[in-house]
Structure 1
Amino acid sequence: MPLAALPPAITIRSAGTLRAVMEWVPAGAALLLSAPGAAGFLGPGAWRALVALAPGYPDALCCGDAAGDALAALRAGCRVLVLEDACPAFAAVAGAAAEVGAVLLPARPAALELDVIDLRRPAGRSRLADWLAGQHDTAPPLR
């Protein structure tokens, strides 16, 4: 699954954000992207448990520059990972990912920070719809 084939990403920082995505975004229309470095502080098991609540949505776990966290995520069943390409072990982790059919992204894709958007308001829903339709730039969304 190359980066171009991934749907627009939404950063998932909590179960509340995940519930909002499931309420407002059809399954498959968004990539559930963990917070930066979440593999290290949340762990791949907790991430897998969280995204299991949202069947039909692709997901990616961010490992920052920690190759060990990426390898642990592969063992836990994560199949789309982000590992900074400056990581000295990037090539080795990429090889391990390829062996299990996983995708290793060299950088976080641009992602919508849904936690700062009020989806109760038309402007918030419009912002989300624009993001999903690809009508956005790659700069970080409003904070």
Structure 2
Amino acid sequence: MSTVIEQAVQARLVAPAPRMETVPATLRYDLTDPFAVRMSFPAPATLEGVDVAWAFSRELLARGVEEPAGVGDVRIRPFGYDRTVVEFHAPEGVAMVHIRTSEVRRFLKRAQQLVPAGSEHRFLDFDEDLARLLSDDTR
């Protein structure tokens, strides 16, 4: 069984102009970080021209497809029949994308099969994390 789930999604960038541009994005869930998901965008899709990845809680994503969620750098809410809006807040500004809710639900279902919600703590490796914190390599 794979310990990483990656799913390509088409995100529609909400821009000040009245059009919406489709950009590729990837949702990623990794068993080694069971509480988080990552959404990444390739360099051509970003203002900086570099790959960008945002990490946020899986619970935030799951809640955001049902109701507005988040108060920090990442905010998620349903929009219309089959869209979910993800807002990324940074000092440079706010980026907003629309993703098909059905794609997000499919991703969340796959992550749920790998690590059931509420059991994430069972997949943490406290011994390895503590060893890394106490090692001389971190100085």
Same fold by TM-score greater than 0.5? no
The structure where strand makes up a greater share of residues is 2
Larger radius of gyration: 2
